[in-house]
Amino acid sequence: MAKAITPRSVDYSEWYNDLVIRSGLADYSAVRGCMIIKPLGYALWENMRAVLDRMFKETGHVNAYFPLFIPKSFLSREAQHVEGFAKECAVVTHHRLKLAEDGSGVVVDPDAKLEEELIVRPTSETIIWHTYRDWIQSYRDLPLLINQWANVVRWEMRTRPFLRTAEFLWQEGHTAHATREEAIAEAERMLDVYARFAEEYMAMPVVRGVKTPSERFAGAEETYCIEALMQDGKALQAGTSHFLGQNFAKAFDVTFLDQHNQRQYVWATSWGVSTRLVGALVMTHSDDDGLVLPPRLAPLQVAIVTIPTVEEPQMTVARELAEQLQRIGISVTVDTDETKRAGFKFAEYELRGVPVRIAIGKRDVEADTVEIARRDTKEKATVPRAAAVEHVRGLLDEIQQNLLRRARQFVADNTHTVETFEEFQRVLDERGGFVLAHWDGTAETEARIKELTKATIRCIPLDGAPQEGRCILTGKPSSRRVLFARAY
Amino acid sequence: MAKAITPRSVDYSEWYNDLVIRSGLADYSAVRGCMIIKPLGYALWENMRAVLDRMFKETGHVNAYFPLFIPKSFLSREAQHVEGFAKECAVVTHHRLKLAEDGSGVVVDPDAKLEEELIVRPTSETIIWHTYRDWIQSYRDLPLLINQWANVVRWEMRTRPFLRTAEFLWQEGHTAHATREEAIAEAERMLDVYARFAEEYMAMPVVRGVKTPSERFAGAEETYCIEALMQDGKALQAGTSHFLGQNFAKAFDVTFLDQHNQRQYVWATSWGVSTRLVGALVMTHSDDDGLVLPPRLAPLQVAIVTIPTVEEPQMTVARELAEQLQRIGISVTVDTDETKRAGFKFAEYELRGVPVRIAIGKRDVEADTVEIARRDTKEKATVPRAAAVEHVRGLLDEIQQNLLRRARQFVADNTHTVETFEEFQRVLDERGGFVLAHWDGTAETEARIKELTKATIRCIPLDGAPQEGRCILTGKPSSRRVLFARAY
């Protein structure tokens, strides 16, 4: 067996890295900062993508595909956007290689220099709004509700599988509207879609909020976000939805004739989630033995192991049961590998996060029972064979609910309300988690708190009630608490 | 209404370009050679992808994702591969932009030059086989059956939407096997999958064959292909499947311990189809009025138009009928746009290739009938309302079959068997199409024929019987006819 997984209590960060590699979610690649998404990790992403894609289509969106490359000059068109994205990115400068004269392989052909450099898209607002200029003429062309599934590249200095990689997979919605109100409603609707997906499918509770001005997306008037809490008490931004105002419409001159024949600038939103969600899922539920995957997203829901593998009576029961489970839409495998022992197989399925494991031994066949183990609590039950299908169906639902319940309890236990800066620091250092505290609303105080504690304002929660108070750092008046945390 | 579509008889090439743009399949972009796949084109690709993905999974493959970038040195590792792919490609040389000192936007930061340039993948054999070295140790790790859905970039000089673009979307299968026989069987199996997909879903007949050595994929020992015939008599390569021998295993040192504990090099295949299939579909079935899409791939199968739109009795019938069709899995829309007349709508649905159009007027409501029009033949039928659902269901099948039948007839009518070079030239110039002729098997003759006639050997058909004859150019003996054509 390969290197064991570092326990969370020893080093949470190492635990995560070990788990991602050992479980077969991803692998490191020969290209700096880029990972390989292995079949298990990709199947998980495919399941996430399928659910999200359905949710996007149900809310009226269609998919399209825009070029990977963005002309360099496009990035400078929107003043804030250039500050945010014209930094660490992959720049294409040439379009040809040639054989080296010394026979040492290939070299870049200096004669094939591009007139204007191309940037590998870090996000697609600029190329899309350049296009929308041609697509939008009249109010009848609005709203334009487009989503794109794509790869993007941001040249990150410090990378970790799924959480922060130079290349990642994501979706980016880019919508155009006739009014400010409609665009804001769209940005909020998509935040709701993300929050519902996180809770109902990932079993990951999230706090919905808006970012402070200094944490906004480059070019946005308002950035909505969902924030999740990982097991080590650090926050993770799981999705963002931006109200872009008329910034991109003005930068790319996108106007429409309204119903009164007046020319107006278009209002915009953009919103995205990425393969980062795979990392969030891992860090929300998994344990020292491996992945714990919610049944609604798990690529494989049930694994059946016969003991010993080769005995025909056990195998007959296993095959029959598998067929019955498949018939009601449950994904299941019967393990037929004769070269490995049951104990080894159990550990492998635990490592890979399969929600339910069924074992069938000689005595089970005699007693007409099966042994059913759940991954989340490790509990086992011996169940009459005739009741097995219903038991598994119910158990998958119960695991899905239990994961959400457990994660909600964790967030509740690790969300602290503090009144003073001293308390703030002590909670962060001793317990971590979300910290609700008053803030005076200035960028200076926000920066100073970050400098002193490494904690950032994750969001101004949308469901927080206004409450008078005093800023923990400056003592100045504050009208509501904001959510602080150290974050990924 | 925008610019009309050039008729095929006037200029086939213009017809294609006009149709792709006017129907909303794709648009030109600001980036040289890159297209924008618009919602209709992308929905078509999504439908193709869903079917192919299911077929790949049914044949035992899993999906994964490898990096977009390939280190330059990887391309030189396989001697033939470098000749084929280290040419026109996008080269990333820098990883940062900075604000220009003169305030004129952004410039490439010279301090951020990469130590080794990265190539945007033109195909992924090299990075994948570099990885397989770590993943394959023993015969128990084989076969390794992986597919990737991705974007790739080849810096083409002359581009056309879908048919040849600098960036395109595709899938690339990369499999590893313990024996030569098994790898060859895999390459042939995937060719069969492609051929079945082309005929059963795209309604596009194809000739299966192998490429001549000079037309092989760079690095392959055998390239299998499917070739289709477009309406203008030019051939189009629709998919390829390569038996790679041990070339990549040797270049990247990928070995395994076999059952006798002997170290062996691994055998490989790769296979792919791309968004080019969208272009092939358009050119196989469409006409001067617009797209003709096969029902099994059409994003929208049925459009219902009420005349006039606003009348409630018609709309009630339309909504009821739509619901019934949806219930049996048929995609349908009820057109509620009151700003456009029925005639305009009919033309738009024809342009967009919707297989079946239903019109419901006042007299239809009175007579309890609906008018059902099929896109492929433009025939209309008045059908009792009560029989409409079954009629549509049957009609969609009939259209699917008719398109294949019609396309097969076209291939049969445009496949010519010739004996002399004179006849060969005359057929090519006067009629185009596939030409079956004897060839002496040498690369020199193949090149000379291409030079003289612009026709290439599309493939050596797999189902062609051996037949003695004489090469049309040199008169030397030949043991079978090969398939020539001018091609896209």
Average pLDDT, chain A: 96
Indicate whether B57 pLDDT > 90: yes
Pick from A90, A96, A105: CB nearest B88: A96
pLDDT of amino acid B186: 98
Chosen domain end from A231, A260, A285: A285
Compute the nearest-CA separation of B28 from chain A (Å).
9
Contact: B67, A29; criterion CB under 8 Å:
yes
Contact: A167, B67; criterion CB under 8 Å:
yes
Are residues A347 and A268 part of one domain? no
Contact: B64, A37; criterion CB under 8 Å:
yes
* Residue owning tokens 């969208």: B278
Compute the nearest-CA separation of A333 from chain B (Å).
14
pLDDT of amino acid B310: 78
Within 10 Å of residue A387's Cβ, how many Cβ atoms?
13
Compute the nearest-CA separation of A230 from chain B (Å).
26
Q: Which residues of A touch B94 (CB under 8 A)?
A: 90-91, 93
- Reported as a single tens digit per residue, the pLDDT across A330-367 is 999 999 999 999 999 999 999 999 999 999 999 999 99
Indicate whether A428 pLDDT > 70: yes
Compute the nearest-CA separation of A484 from chain B (Å).
31
In this predicted complex, what is the ipTM?
Answer: 0.96
Are residues A379 and A337 part of one domain? yes
Which of A72-86, A148-162, B206-220, B423-437 is predicted least confidently? Answer: A72-86
Question: Is B101 domain-assigned?
Answer: no
Which of A4-13, B153-162, B431-440 is predicted least confidently? Answer: B153-162
Are residues A17 and A87 part of one domain? yes
Which of A221-230, B85-94, B140-149 is predicted least confidently? Answer: B85-94
Contact: B36, A131; criterion CB under 8 Å:
yes
Q: How far apart, in Å, do the first and last CA atoms of chain B sit?
A: 31
Are residues B55 and B200 part of one domain? yes
Are residues A420 and A346 part of one domain? no
Q: pLDDT-based confidence at B1, cuts 50/70/90?
A: very low
Which of A72-76, A176-180, B173-177, B233-237 is predicted least confidently? Answer: A72-76
Are residues A240 and A378 part of one domain? no
Question: Is A398 domain-assigned?
Answer: no
- Reported as a single tens digit per residue, the pLDDT across A189-246 is 999 999 999 999 999 999 999 999 999 998 999 999 999 999 999 999 999 999 999 9
Q: Which residues of A touch B87 (CB under 8 A)?
A: 96-98
Are residues B429 and B340 part of one domain? no
CATH code assigned at A444: 3.30.110.30
Chosen domain end from B395, B430, B458: B395
Supply the range of the domain harboring residue A463: 415-485
Contact: B31, A67; criterion CB under 8 Å:
yes
Question: Is A97 domain-assigned?
Answer: yes
Question: Is A106 domain-assigned?
Answer: yes
CATH code assigned at A383: 3.40.50.800
Are residues A315 and A250 part of one domain? no
Pick from A38, A65, A119: CB nearest B36: A65
In SS3 terms, chain A reads as CCCCCCCCCCCHHHHHHHHHHHCCCEEECCCCCCEEECHHHHHHHHHHHHHHHHHHHHCCCEECECCCEEEHHHHCCCHHHHHHHCCEEEEEEEEEEEECCCCCCEEECHHHEEEEEEEECCCCHHHHHHHHHHHCCEHHHCCEEEEEEEEEECCCCCCECCCECCEEEEEEEEEEECCHHHHHHHHHHHHHHHHHHHHHCCCCCCEEEECCHHHCCCCCCEEEEEEEECCCCCEEEEEEEEEEECHHHHHCCCEEECCCCCEEECEEEEEEEECHHHHHHHHHHCECCECCCCCCCCCCCEEEEECCCCCHHHHHHHHHHHHHHHHCCCCEEEECCCCCCHHHHHHHHHHCCCCEEEEECHHHHHHCEEEEEECCCCCEEEEEHHHHHHHHHHHHHHHHHHHHHHHHHHHHHCEEECCCHHHHHHHHHHCCCEEEEECCCCHHHHHHHHHHHCCEEEEEECCCCCCCEECCCCCCEECCEEEEECEC
Q: Which residues of A touch B119 (CB under 8 A)?
A: 97
Q: Which residues of B touch A253 (CB under 8 A)?
A: none
Are residues A164 and A38 part of one domain? yes
Indicate whether B2 pLDDT > 60: no
Are residues A421 and A375 part of one domain? no
Contact: A67, B167; criterion CB under 8 Å:
yes
Are residues B336 and B212 part of one domain? no
Contact: A91, B91; criterion CB under 8 Å:
no
pLDDT of amino acid B444: 97
Average pLDDT, chain B: 96
Question: Is B410 domain-assigned?
Answer: no
CATH code assigned at A95: 3.30.930.10
Indicate whether B382 pLDDT > 70: yes
Pick from B68, B75, B99: CB nearest A151: B68
Domain count within chain B? 3
Are residues B381 and B424 part of one domain? no
Compute the nearest-CA separation of A171 from chain B (Å).
14
Compute the nearest-CA separation of A418 from chain B (Å).
41
Question: Is B113 domain-assigned?
Answer: no
pLDDT of amino acid B3: 65
In chain A, the residue whose alpha carbon lies closest to the alpha carbon of B71 is: A31
Question: Is A156 domain-assigned?
Answer: yes
Question: Is A408 domain-assigned?
Answer: no
How many residues would you count in chain B? 488
Give percent above pLDDT 90 in chain A: 91
Within 10 Å of residue A279's Cβ, how many Cβ atoms?
25
Mean pLDDT, range A411-429, rounded to an integer: 97
